[in-house]
Amino acid sequence: MSGYIRDNIFNIKTDQEDANALHAEIISGVRLKGAPLIILFCAIIIASIGLITNSTAVIIGAMLISPLMSPIVAMGYSIATYDGKLLKKGALNFSIQIMIALVGATLFFSLSPITSPTSELLARTGPSFFDMLIAFFGGAAGIIGISRKTKTNVIPGVAIATALMPPICTVGYGIANGNPNYIFPAAYLFAINAFFILVATFAFCKLLQLKQAEVVKERFNKIVKRGIIIGVILISLPLLVSAGYVGTATYNQTALTSNVENFINNEVDTDSTIVMKASVFEEEQRMRLDLIGEKYDPSKIAEIQSSMADYGLGDYSLEVIQDIETSLFAYFQNSNNQGIIENRIVIH
């Protein structure tokens, strides 16, 4: 049964393009003159405009026409097939494209009258572990799609998913504005996408058993494998550390929110008095409750405060606001200037 599934349902060699035709197609994508060069310039301008105007649709358009993925695929393919000449050509082409994109984006943002950051720019400054997974599986889908006799819409989807042009243009924005908070995170995101597309291409070219050079030195094979392993570790380690930190922080905040909610429901809220907003200041170890309804006397407030330890909040001081105007103001006030806060428990 497992053999049938492997050889029929999940057989990626079905409808595989001829090795020579695939080789020629990948080589043609490495060329950087004429139309590909003009398309690169167009993609840089379109992506930069989309980032500065906060237009997702425009950015997607830049992703679709960007030729940045072709030399990455060529490099992964050349490593898998031990084609040193194609590897050098692909690496040189990719390096030139990066330099052109950086210079073009930097000039655009230097001349642009709009300099304020947008959410689309900010979105390229927070690489995560998921970006690594997206790049790898996007690259895998890409090489499988390229190696088919019948072409599908896989490649456009991969271009959108792996998103190479927006991060490199964001680096240009950071350079133009002298802001390292945009330069380094966006460059890291670009490196993640490019490297794991390359790794996925290499891995699936091996699975497809594509034609290799006649003479393969065992020493070269070991160097390639070792280089990929070291690269995966160096690039993914910061992501794993970040994911662990974010996961721990998220867990702690969720636990704190749950404790505060239980405390409010069990000890503070009654039929005649309710909490409109609970503000928790973690660093200051302080909680503020804005109440509306029947006022509590000092003894009741002291009783409520003494019960905080039962909910893991014993280290927090308690401030109770019972003035209705102050409470209403605190409830409708929005520290992020984005409208009414929907949740009554806010962790600061």
pLDDT digits (tens, 9 = 90+) for 284-318: 888 888 887 788 888 888 888 888 888 888 888 88
Residues 334, 208, single domain; the answer is no
Residues 192, 47, single domain; the answer is yes
How many domains does one find in the chain? 2
The whole-number average pLDDT for the span 242-265 is: 77
Q: Is 17 helix (H, G, I), strand (E, B) or coil?
A: coil
> What pLDDT score does 52 carry?
92
**Domain end position, chosen among 152, 182, 216:** 216
Cα 330 from Cα 277, distance rounded (Å): 7
Q: Which amino acid is at 163?
A: A
The whole-number average pLDDT for the span 40-64 is: 91
pLDDT band of 342, cuts 50, 70, 90: very low
Question: What rounded mean pLDDT belongs to the chain?
Answer: 80
Residues 294, 199, single domain; the answer is no
pLDDT band of 272, cuts 50, 70, 90: confident
pLDDT band of 95, cuts 50, 70, 90: very high
Condensed to tens digits (0 to 9), the pLDDT of residues 9-20 reads 556 666 677 777
The two tokens of residue 140 are 């895998």
Residues 134, 54, single domain; the answer is yes
Cβ atoms of residues 282 and 348 within 8 Å: yes
Q: CB within 8 A of 37, min separation 6: which ones?
A: none
What is Dmax (Cα atoms) for the chain?
89
Global model pTM greater than 0.75:
no
If you count them, how many residues does the chain have?
348
> What pLDDT score does 104 carry?
93
Higher pLDDT, 345 or 273: 273
> What pLDDT score does 11 carry?
61
Q: Is residue 233 included in any domain, yes or no?
A: no
Q: Is residue 257 included in any domain, yes or no?
A: no
Residues 39, 146, single domain; the answer is yes
Q: Is residue 20 included in any domain, yes or no?
A: yes
**Domain end position, chosen among 174, 194, 216:** 216
Closest to 127 (Cα-Cα) out of 230, 34, 236, 220: 236
Cα 175 from Cα 180, distance rounded (Å): 8
Condensed to tens digits (0 to 9), the pLDDT of residues 170-206 reads 999 999 999 988 998 898 889 888 988 998 888 888 8
Q: Is residue 307 included in any domain, yes or no?
A: yes
Cα 142 from Cα 140, distance rounded (Å): 5
Domain hosting 342: range is 266-347
